[in-house]
Amino acid sequence: MLYWAAVFFVIALVAAVLGFGGMAAGAAGIAKILFFVFLVLGALSLIFGRRVPV
């Protein structure tokens, strides 16, 4: 998930440099959403992933 967020971020940077503002904004928005989903899933896996054996 973090990989795809980085890919869309790079696409946004390239599109911004080439002057495609709308496409850059869309790719940046997708990258932001994927990054926050990655953070939420990472936090949930840290909280619920490790169970102490009883």
At residue 30, the pLDDT reads 87
How crowded is residue 11: how many other Cβ atoms within 10 Å of its Cβ?
Answer: 18
At residue 48, the pLDDT reads 87
Distance CA(27)–CA(15), nearest Å, equals: 9
At residue 36, the pLDDT reads 93
pLDDT band at 6 (very low <50, low <70, confident <90, very high): confident
pLDDT tens digit sequence for 9-50: 888 888 888 888 888 888 888 888 988 999 999 899 888 887
**Rg, Å, the chain Cα set:** 16
Ramachandran region, residue 13 (left: φ > 0; alpha: ψ -120 to 50; beta: rest): alpha
Please tell me whether the overall predicted TM-score, pTM, comes out greater than 0.75 for this model.
no
> Which of 35, 43, 25 is closest to 1 using CA atoms?
35
